[in-house]
Amino acid sequence: MNIPNLLLVSSNQSSDVDVQSHSIRLDGFSAYYGKNCIVSDINLKLPIKGVTCLVGPSGAGKSTILRWLNRINEETESASFSGTVKVLGRDIMSGYPDVTELRRRVGMVFQQPCVFPCSIYDNILMGLRTQKLSKAQARDIVEHGLKLASLWDEVSNRLEGRADSLSLGQQQRLCLARALVLEPDVLLLDEPTASIDPISSHAIEELVISLGRKISIVMVTHNIGQAKRISDHVVFLCDGKIVEQGTRAHMFSPRCSAKTKTYITEDFCDC
């Protein structure tokens, strides 16, 4: 097992990823809870690297889309989808018979930090339990993950302390560290800064920008200022449909559609 070297090398992606031109591709994708169609017939192609922000009003279906990208929505009994979802060129169903592999390649961090009731150290290594690591390797991975998530300085003297004794902002960065040590190719972030303070939020934004130079990040945010600061690409959804998508420069310019402008650049912009 190599020590994760995220951000230190030009690419951490495996060879089959390199030949793909999209990290995520949705074709004719619709999503349902029971009989209710929540997302209707959308097409989306996201680049191998960069930060894509999904924005739009509450109930637009942003989280539902995100939760299908690593099949976490499979665990919701009434949830289903139609159409095709490809991750790194492979169909999420037939191409990933082992969902663990899909979830290793596609990490996810939720709005509420979700830490395990054990130490900070063990939390970081949770996804690597099946790997045979020497003590030195494990420690290096923990240190590296915590440094990546800008948390090392705050917790290096209490690694054996309980993760749930950390502040919410620290717990969220711990969740990021835990996802990052698995070296994902795609990272899904569902409003990761919604429940944390501005300083932690700033640290996470900086981290997302850095990571976006290496991997594909898909982030749901209600904070339009945040989308403006960190995105390369913006997808604006409303009522389960894509209203408009484009580069940050386009979406935050007078050239965007009137509907986008109303949502993004006028009424709701906080910057």
Residue 193 in the binding site for ligand ATP (CB under 6 A): no
Residue 60 in the binding site for ligand ATP (CB under 6 A): yes
Q: Which of 11, 76, 156, 253 binds ligand ATP (CB under 6 A)?
A: 76
Q: For residue 174, how many other CB atoms are within 10 A of its CB?
A: 26
Q: Which two tokens stand for residue 219?
A: 């982030």
Helix (H, G, I), strand (E, B) or coil at 234: strand
Locate all alpha helices (DSSP H) within the chain, ordered by sequence: 15-18, 62-69, 99-105, 120-125, 135-148, 152-155, 168-180, 198-211, 224-230, 248-251, 258-260
Our CB check for ligand ATP shows the closer of 38 and 215 to be 38
From 1-9, 58-66, 148-156, 228-236, span contacting ligand ATP (CB under 6 A): 58-66
Residue 224 in the binding site for ligand ATP (CB under 6 A): no
* C-alpha to C-alpha distance for 154 and 156, rounded to whole angstroms: 6
Residue 268 in the binding site for ligand ATP (CB under 6 A): no
Our CB check for ligand ATP shows the closer of 147 and 222 to be 222
* C-alpha to C-alpha distance for 42 and 44, rounded to whole angstroms: 7
Q: Which of 10, 15, 21, 58 binds ligand ATP (CB under 6 A)?
A: 58
Residue 226 in the binding site for ligand ATP (CB under 6 A): no
For 38-88, what is the HEC assignment?
Answer: EEEEEEEEEECCEEEEEECCCCCCHHHHHHHHCCHHHHCCCEEEEEEEEEC
Residue 239 in the binding site for ligand ATP (CB under 6 A): no
From 2-10, 16-24, 62-70, 259-267, span contacting ligand ATP (CB under 6 A): 62-70
Give how many residues touch ligand ATP by CB under 6 A.
12
From 59-67, 117-125, 168-176, 256-264, span contacting ligand ATP (CB under 6 A): 59-67
Our CB check for ligand ATP shows the closer of 67 and 104 to be 67
Element (H, E) at 28: strand 22-33
Q: Which two tokens stand for residue 145?
A: 């993950």
Site residues for ligand ATP per CB under 6 A: 33, 38, 56, 58-64, 76, 78
